[in-house]
Amino acid sequence: MAHINQNFLKLPGGYLFPEIGRRVQAFSAQNPPKPLIRLGIGDVTQPLAPAVIDAMGKAVEEMGRKDTFRGYCEEICCAYDFLRFAIQDSYKANGVLIADDEIFVSDGAKSDCGSIGDIFGLDNVVAVCDPVYPVYVDTNAMAGRAGEYDGEKWTELVYLSCTAENGFFPALPKEKIPDLIYICSPNNPTGAAATKEQLQAWVDYANAHGSVILYDSAYEAFITEPGIPHSIFEIGGAKTCAIEFRSFSKTAGFTGTRCAYTVIPKELVRDGVSLNALWNRRQGSKFNGVSYIVQRAAEATFTQEGQKQIKETIGFYLNNAKVIKDGLRRAGLTVYGGVNAPYIWVKTPDGISSWEFFDVLLKKACVVTTPGAGFGPSGEGYVRLTAFGEAEATAEAIDRIREVL
């Protein structure tokens, strides 16, 4: 008889978004006084840039001709030269030198963050920020690294609490020393972006203890403040302790198109083995790359025209973020994020719970948000709003919230 992976049975089973859906549906059924505005959405809404569409169209035509047709991508790291070099150049423009065979192109940062555990032993101690993007937690639970879920936390994970007191960036752990450390900056859900000094402390810690930092910079393109690092590799010593995940999803609206990349420096060695070589081996066995059409689309985001167009869209989202942040501040709320990220992290008023505030905003303002408690215990007392909506609806939502507070 076949046996299942019992670790899957330990997962608490998609509580957050199903529960939001249930409450929204129940409220909608009672004929709300106003149409709902959704500011809980974690997906982009604006179409792909014209430069991207042009490049895809050309690539589609090439695929239809015998002399330019392409089958499996035989190149290193599942990436065509043109995309690998474009990514390498974009790092170089930021002062970061990466070898082209350190860049692995994939179909998503979610896949890569979720699959990277394949190359690490099951006995590694895993640390996650709290609150956190659920993928890091759930994939480690599936692998058996998280222990048991006790209704609030996983028994074997190290939770690095990110609160207003520490500027939503975790302090170095004092007790258990983690081997694998997930850091997401700019952060989903808090919108906080780490400074060079903050990251340096973790890089030094990881090098001192032989830990590996798994650095998710999916929102790097939203950074507006000068001096905030866009890459972990801007930090001295990172190449011997860090892996970086990036994605075209939020950068260029590729959530439905699918393309991302992961950088593993060749200097990164554990147990005497190169992690770059291990990941290459893993990808070679479990992954056959991203389509030529999509790699051409991704390449187009690095052209002058492409850059201009994707920056306009990011500017549009960041303007929504500012409308949300300024509006809620004027309404007397305490608000974080929204400057280097499309997420605004809002303290609930009068110490009410995340879910209570979610219900107030839903029932009184007809605005859908995301309760912070769904991202981890330290998310309690917050709700997350996102800047991915339409400008008019976003402004209207904020007006409504101000009226009901």
Residues of the shown chain interacting with ligand PLP in the complex, contacts defined by CB under 6 A: 108-110, 133, 184, 188, 216, 218, 247, 249-250, 255, 260
Which residue's Cβ has the minimum distance to ligand PLP?
108
Positive or negative CA dihedral for 350, 352, 354, 357? negative
Compute the least distance from the CB of residue 218 to ligand PLP, in Å. 4
Query: Is the Cβ of residue 115 or residue 211 nearer to ligand PLP in the bound state?
Result: 115
Give the Cβ contact number of residue 380 at 10 Å: 17
In sequence order, the 6+-apart residues with CB closer than 8 A to the CB of 223 are 186, 193, 230, 340
Cα(395)–Cα(405) distance, integer angstroms = 16
Compute the least distance from the CB of residue 350 to ligand PLP, in Å. 30
Compute the least distance from the CB of residue 242 to ligand PLP, in Å. 16
Are the beta carbons of 120 and 140 closer than 8 angstroms?
Answer: no
Compute the least distance from the CB of residue 40 to ligand PLP, in Å. 13
Query: Is the Cβ of residue 318 or residue 360 nearer to ligand PLP in the bound state?
Result: 318
Give the Cβ contact number of residue 318 at 10 Å: 19
Query: Is the Cβ of residue 232 or residue 260 nearer to ligand PLP in the bound state?
Result: 260
Query: Is the Cβ of residue 110 or residue 296 nearer to ligand PLP in the bound state?
Result: 110
Query: Is the Cβ of residue 182 or residue 396 nearer to ligand PLP in the bound state?
Result: 182
Compute the least distance from the CB of residue 208 to ligand PLP, in Å. 27
φ, ψ dihedrals at 221, nearest 5°: -70, -10
Query: Is the Cβ of residue 179 or residue 216 nearer to ligand PLP in the bound state?
Result: 216
In sequence order, the 6+-apart residues with CB closer than 8 A to the CB of 199 are 183, 185, 229, 232, 235, 238
Name the DSSP letter for residue 154: B
Compute the least distance from the CB of residue 314 to ligand PLP, in Å. 14
The strand pair at 370-371 and 367-368 is best described as: unpaired
Query: Is the Cβ of residue 188 or residue 320 nearer to ligand PLP in the bound state?
Result: 188
Query: Is the Cβ of residue 84 or residue 110 nearer to ligand PLP in the bound state?
Result: 110
Are the beta carbons of 385 and 361 closer than 8 angstroms?
Answer: no
The strand pair at 242-247 and 212-216 is best described as: parallel
Compute the least distance from the CB of residue 384 to ligand PLP, in Å. 11
The pair of structure tokens assigned to 72 is 């499996």
Positive or negative CA dihedral for 216, 219, 225, 227? positive
Compute the least distance from the CB of residue 262 to ligand PLP, in Å. 10
